[in-house]
Amino acid sequence: MEMGFTIKDVRDGLAKGHFTSEEIFKTYSDKIKKDNKKLNAYLSIFDQQSQTNEQYYITNFSKQRAPLFGIPCAIKDNMLIEGTIATAGSKILENYVSAYDATAIKKLRKAGVNFLGKTNLDEFAMGTSTENSAFGPTKNPHDLTRVPGGSSGGSASAVAADLCVFALGSDTGGSVRQPASMCGVVGLKPTYGRVSRHGLIAMAPSLDQIGPLTKNVYDSALVLSSISGQDVFDSTTVPSSIPDFTKNLDKDIRGLRVGVPKEFFGEGLDREVEEKIKSTISKLENLGAKIIEINLPNFEYALAVYYIIVPCEVSSNLSRFDGIRYGHSSKNAKNLLDTYLESRSEGFGAEPKRRIMLGAYALSSGYYDAYYLKAQKVRSLIKKDFDEAFKKVNVIVGPTAPHSAFKLGEKVSDPLSLYLEDIYTVPVNLTGLPGISIPCGNGATSGMPIGFQIIGKSFDEETLLRVSYQLEQALK
Amino acid sequence: MLTDKEVKHIAGLARIKISAKEEKSLKKDLSSILEYIDKLNEVNTDKVEPLYQTTRLVDSFRSDEPRGEFKMDENLNERLIGQAPHQQNRFIKVKSVLFRK
């Protein structure tokens, strides 16, 4: 599949005068109008007039210094762009107009980007296939009968089909990395606290993190540098300096210690994925890295922990949808209680309903200790496993997902089987660590892209990206 | 397995009206997820402290001064209040909270 323009390509093209930012925007815009019908990657598209960013980059940067000047990009539809619709993939927000810019959006504006539109997602980012969107599923550009992964499936599909230069997604349990894996692009979840979530429609705030989906590792580093940093509107953002993440990509990885958890190669991992992951690990060895087998004894409990913590936070978060202040309000309500009951019943799809109810149950009187508290204790043990492992290694590697992209409709009737898609990505969110998925070739059986996951130490995206970049070059 | 009564009770807590058909499928789905989650009981967590967050930031305070990032004006007011499905004269209209029996 033709990857199209990277950020660097567009910057070069603009610098050499091959095209103007207006022309490159129009090229993408026209392509979206033509191809989006078959992919359903975008839920809404913008025209260039609506978003001249002049006031931003002229006051803050000169054009040359704006690192993403003129780059056409796509945004997952759970992030707010002032004056435009943000649906979060839900009927309940079908007509919701964003009152302000998310911090990540403001930062991208300052960096000079142009927004092409908003991309499809599982409703409120709850899902692993984008089939839970209230606005129809997104298709995988490598095979239109298959899912793009999820929940940032629209963003991943748009990047893979070259319907944008890069996209933003959000990752609560794998929602950037898993679709990146299934669509053959690079997906990064930064360390929890690196990127502000202000203006991201919350799913599970103790886990949510915004991250870029890009065509290569260099672009990923470039976008991360632009969206990182402390924000007064998100008190979980950490006051640390933001390095230029592209600076050390070129340095070799000789002597670097790479951990391979034994537990990642157990039951449930597809044969074709295992083959690719193992051959990629041997590529790292060829690059001079030292491969070390490690143990994550509590890995098998991560998904169960996740499916307590997430529903609990979801049930609390989504209580704001009451049919009163914004969003869908039922026409059938006769009294105040009806307004809640009917509006939520009509507005939410099946998966949010499941998670809200699961959370309400787990947090209800008498169950808190057995579920929520128990889960947070096991989470503590999982964190300890990673802390121990990182005493011995610099990065941890393995598969991003247990298999390549599956067929549309194949798993939709079994929520638990869709949950299992995130088995390798969820522990990274529970521990707040940074993780990335990079394409490592196509499966021998399915012919579909397979993602290689690299997990870094807390706030060490630099090493994470350097390993990714070196590996990417070796895989070419 | 959750009982029908439990599913109805949870739906009430969650403020979601569910149909008889939804009740049936939710009963099945929620029960199978809860069954999966039960595997956590295999783990010994005596003397383990819960981990609620990972940033290690504690008490992220700021000085109690207006920050001025959001200036309320007619335009922003309209963008916020204007989203309400039922309004009257720039107020959000809510069904009566108190009523006579």
pLDDT, one tens digit per residue, over B42-60 is 999 999 999 988 887 778 7
Tell me how far apart the alpha carbons of residues A76 and A201 are, in angstroms, rounded to a whole number.
10
pLDDT in tens, A441-453: 999 999 999 999 9
Residue B76 has pLDDT above 90, yes or no: no
Give the minimum alpha-carbon distance from A411 to chain B in angstroms, rounded to a whole number: 13
In chain A, residues with a C-beta closer than 8 Å to the C-beta of B49 are 377, 380
Picking from B40, B71, B73, B91 by the largest number of A CB atoms within 10 A of its own CB, the best residue to mutate is B40
Judged by average pLDDT, the poorest of A89-103, A190-204, B62-76 is B62-76
Phi, psi for residue A198 in degrees, rounded to 5: -60, 125
Q: Does B1 touch chain A (CB under 8 A)?
A: no
Q: Does B36 touch chain A (CB under 8 A)?
A: yes
**CB contact set of A324 (below 8 Å; sequence gap of 6+):** A339, B84, B85, B86, B92, B94
From A379, which residue of chain B is nearest by alpha-carbon distance? B51
Tell me how far apart the alpha carbons of residues A361 and A344 are, in angstroms, rounded to a whole number.
17
Query: Is the CB of B57 less than 8 angstroms away from the CB of A342?
Result: no
Which of A99, A315, A345 is facing B79, going by the closest CB pair? A99
The predicted structure's pLDDT at residue B54: 86
Contact A263, A399 (CB under 8 A): no
pLDDT in tens, A143-165: 999 999 999 999 999 999 999 99
The predicted structure's pLDDT at residue A451: 98
Establish how many alpha carbons lie within 13 A of residue B19's alpha carbon, considering only the half-sphere containing its beta carbon.
6
Query: Is the CB of B26 less than 8 angstroms away from the CB of A353?
Result: yes
The predicted structure's pLDDT at residue A48: 67
Query: Is the CB of A325 less than 8 angstroms away from the CB of B48?
Result: no
In chain A, residues with a C-beta closer than 8 Å to the C-beta of B97 are 336
Residue B65 has pLDDT above 90, yes or no: no
Query: Is the CB of A357 less than 8 angstroms away from the CB of B69?
Result: no
Tell me how far apart the alpha carbons of residues A182 and A151 are, in angstroms, rounded to a whole number.
12
Contact A271, A445 (CB under 8 A): yes
Mean pLDDT, all residues of chain A: 94
In chain A, residues with a C-beta closer than 8 Å to the C-beta of B92 are 324-325
Tell me how far apart the alpha carbons of residues A20 and A10 are, in angstroms, rounded to a whole number.
10
Which of B26, B83, B92 is facing A96, going by the closest CB pair? B83
Residue A61 has pLDDT above 70, yes or no: no
Contact A77, A134 (CB under 8 A): no
Establish how many alpha carbons lie within 13 A of residue A17's alpha carbon, considering only the half-sphere containing its beta carbon.
0
Q: Does B98 touch chain A (CB under 8 A)?
A: no
A62 confidence band (pLDDT: 50, 70, 90):
low
The predicted structure's pLDDT at residue A240: 79
Query: Is the CB of B62 less than 8 angstroms away from the CB of A326?
Result: no
A51 confidence band (pLDDT: 50, 70, 90):
low
In chain B, residues with a C-beta closer than 8 Å to the C-beta of A358 are 30, 33-34
Q: Does A207 touch chain B (CB under 8 A)?
A: no
Query: Is the CB of A328 less than 8 angstroms away from the CB of B49?
Result: no
Which of A233, A336, A376 is facing B51, going by the closest CB pair? A376
A25 confidence band (pLDDT: 50, 70, 90):
very high
Query: Is the CB of A336 less than 8 angstroms away from the CB of B43?
Result: no
Which amino acid makes up residue A361?
Y
The predicted structure's pLDDT at residue A2: 64
Tell me how far apart the alpha carbons of residues B19 and B26 are, in angstroms, rounded to a whole number.
10
The predicted structure's pLDDT at residue A1: 58
Residue A134 has pLDDT above 50, yes or no: yes
Mean pLDDT, all residues of chain B: 89
Residue A299 has pLDDT above 60, yes or no: yes
What's the whole-number mean pLDDT along residues A248-259? 97
Residue A274 has pLDDT above 90, yes or no: yes
**A51-57 long-range Cβ contacts below 8 angstroms, 24+ apart:** A51/A114, A51/A115, A53/A109, A53/A112, A53/A113, A53/A114, A56/A109, A56/A110, A56/A112, A57/A109, A57/A110, A57/A111, A57/A112
Give the minimum alpha-carbon distance from A200 to chain B in angstroms, rounded to a whole number: 17
Length of chain B: 101
Query: Is the CB of A324 less than 8 angstroms away from the CB of B62?
Result: no
The predicted model scores a pTM of 0.96
Query: Is the CB of B48 less than 8 angstroms away from the CB of A341?
Result: no
pLDDT in tens, A458-476: 999 999 999 999 999 999 9
pLDDT in tens, A31-45: 999 999 999 999 999
A60 confidence band (pLDDT: 50, 70, 90):
very low
From A344, which residue of chain B is nearest by alpha-carbon distance? B16
Query: Is the CB of B43 less than 8 angstroms away from the CB of A298?
Result: yes
Contact A218, A10 (CB under 8 A): no
Bridge partners for A76 per DSSP: A119
- For the CA atoms of A307, A312, A317, A321, the dihedral, rounded to the nearest 10 degrees, stands at 90
Supply the Cα-derived Rg of chain B in whole angstroms: 23
What's the whole-number mean pLDDT along residues A164-186? 98
Q: Does B40 touch chain A (CB under 8 A)?
A: yes
Give the minimum alpha-carbon distance from A431 to chain B in angstroms, rounded to a whole number: 6
Q: Does A96 touch chain B (CB under 8 A)?
A: yes
The predicted structure's pLDDT at residue B77: 83
The predicted structure's pLDDT at residue A64: 57
Query: Is the CB of B53 less than 8 angstroms away from the CB of A236?
Result: yes
Q: Which of residues 41-80 of B touch A (CB under 8 A)?
A: 41-43, 45, 48-55, 57, 60, 62, 67, 69-70, 76, 79-80
Residues of A noted as catalytic = 76, 151, 175
From B63, which residue of chain A is nearest by alpha-carbon distance? A232
- Between A411 and A352, the more confident residue is A352
What three-state secondary structure class fits A228? strand
Relative to beta strand B91-92, strand B87-88 is antiparallel
